[in-house]
Amino acid sequence: MGNTRLTWLGHSCFQIDAGGTTILIDPFISENPKASVRLEELEPDIIAVTHGHSDHFGDTVSIAQKTGCTVVCIHEISQYLKSKRIKTSGMNIGGKIELAGIHFIMTDARHSSSIDESGWGFDGGRAAGFVIKFDDVSIYHAGDTAVFGDMDLISKLYHPDVAILPIGGRYTMDAKDAAFAVEMLRPKIAIPMHYNTYDVISQDPNIFAQNVKSLSTADVIIMEIGSYIIL
């Protein structure tokens, strides 16, 4: 590791800059009260969408239409985006694809998914997570999920160096449950996300850090919105 920049843009949105390629995950920006960037600042080569809920699918359509980037997502969301004349690379749970030398592995997530447009819900397939691998770095973005036993299998198959996990509670696992996810995933670095955007997902990330310390040797990095780390 040493040449990859990981930036938290708020909520579950992260940007990965590696080898001249920019990946944007779950670009919830314009309606996010805690977002650290403006839409016009974003120029991704690839967008990865974990599921169709508006706080993850977010500004995918407007960004992709402006930039012409490819959207990696589950099949049902891919079909929806194609109707918007957006370039997509659809896949499904357990699938693997390669774009620009970067490997995307779609993992399970225990959550729901739908696309809401003008009050009508469209089939968003299943919620998912991603393992994104390039050079000597493997990053697991869990999307929205509860803790589940197959995180141990994700560890054994894909050996994530970094695990990015929701801790907000109510709609996902909380800080305590997420620490058990870290124990199963065995990453070098654990990063909390999907908390404190709204009052209903208010959490203290230091509690997550304390729980991880009691269960795992992973280093917890509590990022500030807009900050980045070099991997």
| Of residues 143, 151, 28, the one with CA closest to residue 74 | 143
Q: What DSSP line would sit under 77-105, residue for residue?
A: HHHHHHTTT--EEEE-TT-EEEETTEEEE
Task: Note the pLDDT of residue 1.
Answer: 57
Identify the architecture of domain 5-230 in CATH: 4-Layer Sandwich (3.60)
Task: Note the pLDDT of residue 195.
Answer: 98
Global pTM exceeds 0.75: yes
Q: What is the mean pLDDT of the chain?
A: 95
| Identity at 107, one-letter amino acid code | T
Give 88-107 pLDDT, tens digit per residue: 999 999 999 999 999 999 99
User: Residue 92: is it exposed, middle or buried by C-beta count within 10 angstroms (0-12/13-18/19+)?
Assistant: middle
